[in-house]
Homo-oligomer: A and B are copies of this chain.
Amino acid sequence: MRKAIRPEEAAELVPDGAVVLIGGFMGVGTPERMIDALVARGVKNLTVVANDAALPGRGIGKLVSAGAISRAIMSHIGLNPEIQQKMIAGEVEIELVPQGTLVERIRAAGVGLGAVVTATGIGTPVEEGKQVLEIDGKRYLVEKPIHGDFALIAAQQADYAGNLMYSLTAHNFNPIMALAGRTVIVEPEMIVPIGVIPPDAVKTPGVLVDHLLARAA
């Protein structure tokens, strides 16, 4: 059983300097209230692992504007001019990772695999400095798992056992990140009593979830 906590309490759990996996794709499926609470508490030096930097004023964009991020591992930052400026100014260090490789590196961390072996990135700047494995005559990159100290997850519905459901394109990185955070904090739109979500509808089993955010007052 997970007691729902307030966003301010959840934000207190995340120390400066933490590696934080954050769900969302262009701000869709991102835990906005959790991010607001992190900005309010003035968190600093986060390493944020996410698909993208969203837009200024939305989702991860708010953390960028607040100067809370010192390092980002993302597949795309092109729609957030602010993070690009900070990158050029040397304020944010950015590792760009192909989207499919990014989600598999997070999954590998979550499911206990030692690496991801993918052809994506071969012959491109992504290959630089990485081990190459030849398997049956084809070349692959060995890409390392990405663990998070925290995973900040947006879900559509949770029960008090922590079981989660997601909606449409708000799934994106959320179900995978829920596997890979040492502490998993979930912001559901709705929390229902245990027993209400049918077992077959559960996409993230509750055993992975540490904290649920209480409904907005």
Contact = CB atoms under 8 A, between A and B. Distances in A.
Interface string A166-195: 111000000000000000000000000000
A158 interface: no
Given A166-B200, A200-B166, A135 B113 contact: no
A135 B115 CA distance: 8
A201 B108 CA distance: 25
Contacts of A136: 144
Interface stretch (A2-10, A13-21, A45-53, A116-124): A116-124
A116 to B, nearest CB: 7
A113 B115 CA distance: 11
Contact of A167 (B135, B142, B144, B200): B200
A114 B117 contact: yes
A51 to B, nearest CB: 18
A116 B117 CA distance: 7
A114 B104 CA distance: 12
A115 B112 contact: no
A207 interface: no
Contacts of A119: 112, 114
A133 interface: yes
Contacts of A116: 113, 117
A140 interface: yes
Contacts of A115: 117, 133, 135, 140
Q: Which of A112, A135, A142, A200 has the most CB of B within 10 A?
A: A200
Contacts of A135: 114-115, 142, 144
5 contacts: A104-B111, A113-B116, A114-B138, A135-B144, A168-B200
